[in-house]
Amino acid sequence: MNKNQVTTEDHHFPWEHPRFRSWIAVGRACQLMQQTLTRRLVHLEIKPPHLDILINLYRFDGISQQELARKLLVGRSNMSMLLPQLERRGLIERRGDAKDKRVLRLSLTAAGRALTEEAMEIQTALIESSHAGSPIEDCMKVAESMERIISTLLKEDSELPDRES
């Protein structure tokens, strides 16, 4: 075992584990960012999960519901609750795929595009203000570390039996 490897036998409680502090800090930062973003988006009458959908549709016009759920790491049931809310507000539209009628493609409406642009400005300003004291190099190191964790968790999760049918 190399010096960077730590086993659970080395530490009886989770908070004794050297990586626990990192885990807690990431979780708390994420939670606080979500809470702050929620407050800043309230006047647009959307929440961060809605914004995640809108930004993905802004970037990937015509994406299928299934592809969107996979990108956002959410289940179909979650998606089926959020999409109708956005559709009723006239922010998105769903239409059948030309080649496969079982597939629904998602797009922003003009109103959805305008609202998404306004919300992205709010989100970007929050990211800039919260990271202002961090050099870009540090931000990139954190991103790389989080991407490794995401990759590891996705790999481990893919090896588990599918729970949602």
Distance CA 76, CA 74 (A): 7
Angle at which helices 65-72 and 76-88 cross, to 10°? 110
Mean pLDDT of the chain: 89
Cβ atoms of 96 and 64 within 8 Å: the answer is no
State the pLDDT confidence band at 160, using cuts at 50, 70 and 90: confident
How confident is the model at residue 48, as a pLDDT? 95
Distance CA 130, CA 144 (A): 18
What is the pTM for the complete model shown? Answer: 0.81
Read off the amino acid at residue 155. K
Determine whether 45 is exposed, middle or buried from the number of CB atoms within 10 Å of its CB (0-12, 13-18, 19+). Answer: exposed
Give residue-wise pLDDT tens across range 5-15.
Answer: 655 566 678 88
